[in-house]
Amino acid sequence: MADGWLLDVAFTGDKAVLWIRTPDGGRVKLHDRYRPEFYAEPLGMDAARLRDLLEEHDNVRGITVERRRAFIAGETELEVARILLDSVENYRRVMKQVDAMPCVAETYDADLEHELKYLCDRRLTPMGRVSFEPPPEVGSGSSPPPPGASRSSRPPLPSSPSA
């Protein structure tokens, strides 16, 4: 295990690319699978039927029926389809296709930025200290950051936080 501080997270295809600063001043680049998701509330059918309609879509990698609150402060729970996609590149197009379906009342979590969703899902804090398994070929070497990446360009964070 190694420790460091998350500098940046960016996305390419189905991977999150994490840049971590090590205590010796080096940088480590890690890759983590990331499949974006959103939720769709059915209209005029149950969520299981909506799941059946969407599961054959080329860019859908998983779809489950779940219960969730429509609003954070709301008490009412809805049955929705949780739609897991193949990559960030296809996210907006597929989300718009689903949102335009006459059998979909509403989509949820579709407006969150991928960086924020990634950090929240993994309970990471920007610029927070993290523990990680360094890739064997990289160790704690120093690599340049990805093009256009900086500490202030995105909310940063890596794999698993340490206490």
Same domain, 136 and 88: no
Per-residue pLDDT 10s for the chain (163 aa) are: 888 999 999 998 889 999 999 999 999 999 999 999 999 999 999 999 999 999 999 999 999 999 988 777 778 889 999 999 999 999 999 999 999 999 999 999 888 888 988 998 888 888 889 888 877 754 444 444 443 333 333 333 344 444 3
Domain tally, the chain = 2
Same domain, 67 and 9: no
Same domain, 100 and 54: yes
Tokens of 124: 């990471």
Give me Rg for the CA atoms of the chain.
18
pLDDT recorded at residue 100? 96
Same domain, 80 and 137: no
Cα–Cα distance measured from residue 142 to residue 73, given in angstroms and rounded to the nearest whole number:
45
pLDDT recorded at residue 58? 95
- For position 55, which CATH number holds? 3.30.70
pTM, 2 dp: 0.73
- Side by side, which strands form the sheet with 77-85? 60-69, 77-85, 37-42, 104-108
Same domain, 69 and 81: yes
Number of H helices, E strands in the chain: 3, 9
Same domain, 59 and 10: no
Q: Which residue range(s) make up the domain with 15? A: 2-34+117-161
pLDDT recorded at residue 53? 95
pLDDT recorded at residue 161? 43
Same domain, 124 and 78: no
Cα–Cα distance measured from residue 136 to residue 134, given in angstroms and rounded to the nearest whole number:
6
